[in-house]
Chains A and B, each alone.
Chain A
Amino acid sequence: MTDERRDAERAEHAASAASLAKVRKFVASYVAKGAYELYPEPEVVENVVVGLAENLEAHGKMYCPCAPVEDSKTKGNDMVCPCTPHHADIARQGYCDCALFASRDFVAAERLAKKK
Chain B
Amino acid sequence: MALSIGSACPPFDLPGTDGRAHSLASFADAKALVVVVSCNHCPHVVANEARLVDIARDYGMKGAAFLAVNANDAARYPDDDMAHMKTRAKDRGFPFPYVRDDSQAFVRALGARFTPEVFVFDGARALRYHGRIDDNERDVTRARSHDLRNALDAILAGKAPAVEETNALGCSVKWK
Contact = CB atoms under 8 A, between A and B. Distances in A.
Contacts of A13: 138-139, 142
- Size bin of chain A's contact surface: 20 to 34
B41 A67 contact: yes
- Size bin of chain B's contact surface: 10 to 19
Q: Which of A41, A96, A97 counts the most chain B CB atoms within 10 A?
A: A97
Contacts, number: 41
Contact of A68 (B1, B41, B138): B41
B175 A92 contact: yes
A95 B172 contact: yes
Nearest to B42: A66
A69 B139 CA distance: 19
Contacts of B138: 13-14
B172 A67 contact: no
B37 to A, nearest CB: 14
B169 A97 contact: no
Contact of B171 (A71, A93, A98): A98
Nearest to A9: B142
B174 interface: yes
Given A13-B142, A51-B43, A65-B43, 9 more contacts: A13-B138, A43-B169, A66-B43, A67-B41, A69-B43, A97-B171, A98-B172, A99-B113, A99-B172
Interface of B: 1, 41-44, 113-114, 138-139, 142, 167, 169-172, 174-175
